[in-house]
Amino acid sequence: MRLYPAIDLRGGTVVRLYQGDYAQSTAYDNDPVELAQAYEEAGASWLHLVDLDGAKGEAGENLYVFEEIATRTALRIQAGGGVRNAQDLQRLHDAGVTRVVIGSLAVKQPEVVRQWFIRQGSEGICLAADVRRAEDGSLHVLTAGWTEDSAIELNAFIQTFQDVDLRHALCTDVSRDGTLSGPNVALYQDLVTRFPWLQVQASGGVSSLADLQALDAAEVDGAIIGKALLEGRFTLEEAAACLPSA
């Protein structure tokens, strides 16, 4: 299982949200570029970056941070937040992003994103499914920085892109994100079973090495780790050591 240390940015500052709520945001003193360099020194090969301002449709300085990290590290960068058109997609690639994460636009304009998959190939784009359980028990995909419920069910959303060489999909259980309450392993097990051709990345709730081992046992392809690293629950070296395949 591949480990993706995560850095979420708001106004160029490292932050973590609680359950995707912008009103419950914790800021950290870490310089984002130095933090990325520390993750690289700890053995990371990939970094997951999120432009929280962009996700809400707000302009900010986060793209400059992306560029600085790409310039000052050899990390492969997976990043998203606010991709609304082809120009945004190109700007991220120009900033040094290896794989662009696309969520809201894939919900609202799936045909546009389908064409991007056809032109860009499967390695340059990661589909993002940020989900919350609805009253009827189904998992609905959220948009606009997790602030709007699309009413589209998770499995149906993924199937929309099944025939255009979708390979990477990041799924965040928003109810677990930033809570350190443990990942929704059952959710990821179901995705791996339903879509065996898909490389699923788990996001939200990782708090311990045991959580990572549970995701690895579920045959998840990757795990996003944010708050647990920032708050010293374990180190990236410890995480890699407990996962022989990391």
Domain containing 33 equals 2-241
Write the CATH number for 93: 3.20.20.70
Q: How far is CA 70 from CA 62, 140, 148, 201, 206, in A?
A: 13, 33, 31, 22, 26
């395949």: which residue's tokens? 245
- Does residue 246 lie within any of the structural domains? no
Q: Which residues are catalytic?
A: 8, 130
Q: Are 63 and 95 in contact (CB under 8 A)?
A: yes
Closest to 203 (Cα-Cα) out of 143, 127, 125: 127
End-to-end CA distance of the chain: 5
- Does residue 34 lie within any of the structural domains? yes
pLDDT tens sequence for the chain (246 residues): 999 999 999 999 999 888 777 888 888 999 999 999 999 999 999 999 999 888 777 767 899 999 999 999 999 999 988 899 999 999 999 999 999 999 999 999 999 999 999 998 899 999 999 999 888 989 999 987 777 888 999 999 999 999 998 999 999 998 887 778 899 999 999 999 999 999 999 998 899 999 999 999 999 999 999 999 999 999 999 999 999 765
**Structurally, how many domains does the chain consist of?**
1
Residue 217, Cβ density class (10 Å: 0-12 exposed, 13-18 middle, ≥19 buried)? exposed
- Does residue 66 lie within any of the structural domains? yes
pTM beyond cutoff 0.85: yes
Rounded Cα–Cα distance for residues 2 and 85 (Å)? 29
- Does residue 227 lie within any of the structural domains? yes
- Does residue 140 lie within any of the structural domains? yes
